[in-house]
Amino acid sequence: MTSASAAVRGFGPVFVTLFGLQFISMGAMEMSGPFWPIQIRLLSPSDSVFGLAGIGVYVGPMIGMSLTSAFWGRMGDRYGNRLMMVRALGGLAITQLLVAVAQDVWTIMVLRFLQGACAGYIAPAQAYGVQVTGGKDRASLFAWLQVATNVGSLGGAFLGGLILDSLPFAAINLTAGVVCALCAAVAWLSLPVPPPGIIAASSGSAGTAKPSASTGVPLAALLVLMGMLLASRMVLQVPFALYMTEIFGARHWVAGLTYGLLACGFVVAAPLWARLFENRTPTYVLGGNVLISAACALVTHLAGSTGSVAVFAFLYFIWGVLLGGTTPVLLALISVTAANDRQGAVLGLAQASQQAASASGIIAGVAVTQLFGVGAAFPLVAALYALSFLSALGIWFKAARSTQKRGQR
């Protein structure tokens, strides 16, 4: 609570609105998340269609978002990130209402793809936050927005389950559509239009604004590293419940509780990681991610080796704690590499990279578990984290050499 109060005092009332919109809209969208297989199974004419659509219903929005996020980011730089936030929320509302009345599995696939293509709320929200805070403490800003995403996901899944216990599946999407429409109205009416030139130039640390891309760290390298870390995380998105059932014989509530521990660890740790990396040099941030990648490889290897569900749950929580120091911190560093008038484009590109990486991780997880069984999931995750460690080490080494050369001039 203390850190939350400090965030409110530091960023001002606009932060409260941004946090609330992210929390509520993400919760609304995630109400249907865990339950799509039930609806797809009901509408699928065969097992083969169910297998394909069961993956597509999750991957489709990611692909749509990966194809359009950079474009919407450029539009945000040109016409305002506030407008892009309203557009994204409006797009989510419309597509959710259409999905609610769709009774054909392929129609749902198309609408889910369009949902991703029209969405992309988080990137303009991040760019808008950088604008209204003057680029101050952006690592903490991004961390708290990610916290809102994770808490909203947990609460939304729980609420969706309550609705599904009493009402048809369509009620979930109708509710989500109405909630997103209300969020769009709130964003349009309550968020101020940031005046031009609000971001002041300052030093090139990872937590402050910067007028141009001169951190010494290639943007492409940061996007690749963040993508590899996300792909590693998403391998278990589909086979997790099956893994818990087959390996541990766990009941569904145990699997659900354990799954939530990852997000819980992230929520607890992300603001702390942000404070640790705030106003640090890019080489310091990258060095931290070298260690985090190595720790993730070790933790996921141990999780895949244990036969105790209690130990597994504890390691899953620790994994979430470690993840709190990856995406928000790297996004802050990516934001620093961008010129002030390109925040929307660069953060949109980052979101597109995240979605493509997440889709790749999901596909890899499904493919490997289909071919070799669920026992192969964690070895794959650990191996991907090992590759992430090597990539982070190489990027850190190049950044350190670049910093050293600039210091000798």
* Predicted local confidence at residue 408, as pLDDT: 56
Residue-level pLDDT at 1: 47
pLDDT in tens, 391-409: 999 999 888 887 766 655 5
Predicted pLDDT at 113: 92
* 26-47 pLDDT tens trace: 888 888 877 777 788 888 888 7
Name all contacts of 356-360 with Cβ < 8 Å and 24+ positions apart. Answer: 356/62, 356/63, 356/66, 356/227, 357/226, 357/227, 357/228, 357/230, 357/231, 357/234, 358/62, 358/230, 358/231, 358/234, 358/237, 359/59, 359/62, 359/63, 359/66, 359/234, 360/227, 360/231, 360/234
Specify whether the CB–CB gap between 120 and 72 falls below 8 A.
yes
Residue 132, H or E segment? helix 122-132
pLDDT digits 0-9 by tens, 44-69:
888 788 878 878 888 888 888 888 88
Domain boundaries, the chain: 2-408
Which residues, including other chains, have CB under 8 Å from residue 346's CB and lie 6 or more apart? 73, 219, 334, 335, 337, 338
Give the predicted TM-score (pTM) of the model: 0.77
- Topology given in CATH for the domain delimited by 2-408: Growth Hormone; Chain: A; (1.20.1250)
pLDDT bin (cut points 50, 70, 90) of residue 204 is very low
